[in-house]
Amino acid sequence: MIVRIKTIFICTIGVMICSCDLGKNHEWENPEIFSINKLPPRSHFFAFENEKLAKDNNRNKSANFSNLNGKWKFNLSPNPKNRPIDFYQYDYDDTKWDHIVKLLK
């Protein structure tokens, strides 16, 4: 009986070790990587076309303003391994992704 318990225990440990990603260094596991593809912090500002629009301080009236309201493509990955790697490429196929609607105020 004890031999059988030891055998089951050793087999369980062996399966757990083999199922791990040993030796793989993922960027999300590296504490030295604080951010990826992130711009450095900066002050918020908006460039109006003229002084009158700047005094009104209404970005919606400016030709330099792009409203982000609308439908956006969205993909939720169940885990980091299954995330899309090259989703930022222009020719990436996102037709199976869901849409989300975000209304900014």
Q: What is the mean pLDDT of each run of 10 residues along the chain (105 residues)?
A: 80 66 71 84 86 92 88 89 89 91 62
6-20 pLDDT, tens digit per residue, is 788 786 776 666 666
List CB contacts of 67: < 8 A, sequence separation 6 or more. 60, 104
Contact 79, 102 (CB under 8 A): no
Q: Which residues contact 45 (CB under 8 A, 6 or more apart)?
A: none
The structural domains of the chain, with segments of one domain joined by +, span: 66-105
Whole-angstrom distance, CA of residue 52 vs CA of residue 44:
20
Distance CA 94, CA 86 (A): 11
0.85 exceeded by pTM: no
CA distance 48 to 56: 10
